[in-house]
Every structure is written in structure tokens, then in C-alpha cells.
Amino acid sequence: MPPQSPALIATLVSAQGLSPNDLTTASDAIAAAGGVPSATSAFDPPHATDLVIRGLSRPQARAALESALPHLDVIVQPAAPTRRKRLLVADMDSTMIAQECIDELADFAGLKAEIAAITERAMQGELDFESALDARVAALKGLDATAIDRCLAERITLTPGARTLIGTMKALGCRTLLISGGFTAFTGPVAARIGFHAQVANLLHIIDGRLDGTVAKPIVDSAVKRDTLIAERATLGLETADTLAVGDGANDIPMLEAAGLGIAYHAKPKAAAAADAAVRIGDLTVLLSAQGIPRSEWVSD
């Protein structure tokens, strides 16, 4: 007899609540793709249910379910004795916060449209990240550094679920790290506001109270994000399966691929395709459901 296919767990998540028809649709989609749906576990009814799947690869199961259930978030991963992570590494801009900091900062210099266009292309993976960062920072040379504090106070908002995600993970003993290709002037306050253990980002040079138009090198790029996750994992003595990463842009892809579970959050197409799973509908608390953590254990804002 051929070896039995490894089991997968597909977690269906909806803040509004799953319907019986959603489970039927999921099972039918898996069967139509050639898989075998079996046991279900509503570990957080009516918001999150696990469906056990055999006979399909992870990408096959994900594609079938995302196509059949466009109104839900679907996280497919290998079945394991425990799926609660012990290291969470998160991108900041458009992931843990709703904005791109450099675009908002550029608005104080009257350059938002110009800078945002470069940011978008960089996040789509169309431009070299370091060159794009240098160009955007150079354009801000001479901007009064007080604009950073104004930007933080007036423009930057946390992504829904950010504090609940990090608060819950910390309460469960998970190490949390915020890492960004942006700037420590933003990651420091944001990390403190959300509750991260630590943060890593680029250093903007400021001279005589004004932006100098340069950033310290080497920069935090996609390779540094990946290497930081791997180094943190090694320091903690963890296995790859113990790690979770979340991000939205092309520069997050190596980090997402290095994690035991890489989740793209309302992401650019390249990042969503490269990640193990993608949050398309809900907020950051979907990452808790992905780990089988019910709302009864969440640490609310």
C-alpha cells in the first residue's frame, strides 16, 4: 500500500461567524480537488474551525479553499501536536500599523505622492529595496526632524488586532520582535505602544535638527529580516516550526519563507503567493486563530 498522505489542518476564520454552509463548501472544494476532508473541530465557535485534510499538498488545499471561500480567511498547515509559536517576527508598515511611515513623513515635505509611488513599486518587488530607500530618504533632506513626532501623533494608527495579537502571544510565553525596513524613529514608539519585546530598523541621520538625507548602513533589507529571524530562533533554541512571521511586501518574502508559518497580511501579490498563508479579510487576530488559540485566551486591548 502507498504511504498515507500527511494530514493538513485548514483553519477557517471569520469575525462575523462561520455558517454550516461554509464547512460544506470547504469539504466539497477539497473533495473536488481530489482530497479527503475528514474531522472538524470548532475550537472557537462560531469564529474559527479546523478541517482535517488528506490527499492534497498544502498549496493545492490552500488554492481550493481560497477560491471556494473568498469571504473567509483560510490558513492551511501541516497537522502537528502543537502549533502555538514561540517566536513571532513582524513587519511594521502596512502590517502592524496601517500606514507606510516614509510616505506619511514625506507629506510634511509636500512629497507624499512622489515618495508613495516609489514605496509601492518597492513593496511590489519592482525596485531594488536599498536603492529605493536611499532615493526616498535623500528626497527628505532638510526636513525638520520634529515632523517625525508630528507624524507619529497625527498619522500613525495601529492595525486592528495588533495589541491583542502581541499581548496574547507574550502572555503565552512567545518572544515578539518588530522588524522594519523603515526607521527606528518610528519602530521604537510603535513597538512600545503595541508591546513588542524588541525592535530592529534603520537609523535616519539627523544633523542640527534636520534630516540629513541619508540612512545608516548596512540597511535592514529582506536578507537582514530573514537572518534576524534565524538568529533569534537559534538564540532561543527553537525549531523552525516554532516560529511565525507576518508581513505584506516583497521585502518580507525571505523572512516569511524562513518561518515555520509565514503569513502574508493584506499583502502585495508576490508576498501573498510566497507565504504559507494569506490573511485577506480579517485583522491580525487571525494569526491567533491560525495557532488554534480561542478567544477565551486572548488578551484584549
**Residue in 22, 44, 93, 276 annotated catalytic:** 93
Q: Which residues are CB-contacts of 99 (< 8 A; sequence separation ≥ 6)?
A: 93, 155, 156, 157
203 in Cβ contact with 216 (< 8 Å): yes
**Spatial separation of the C-alpha atoms in residues 85 and 291, rounded to whole Å:** 7
Examine the residue annotation and report whether 227 is marked as an active-site residue of this protein.
Answer: no
Examine the residue annotation and report whether 91 is marked as an active-site residue of this protein.
Answer: yes
195 in Cβ contact with 170 (< 8 Å): yes
**Please, where are the H alpha helices in the chain?**
20-32, 58-68, 101-107, 112-123, 129-139, 146-154, 162-171, 184-194, 222-236, 253-258, 269-274, 286-290
**Spatial separation of the C-alpha atoms in residues 135 and 25, rounded to whole Å:** 48
Cα-trace Rg, the chain: 20
**Residue in 91, 242, 252, 276 annotated catalytic:** 91
Classify 211 as helix, strand or coil.
strand
Residues known to be catalytic: 91, 93
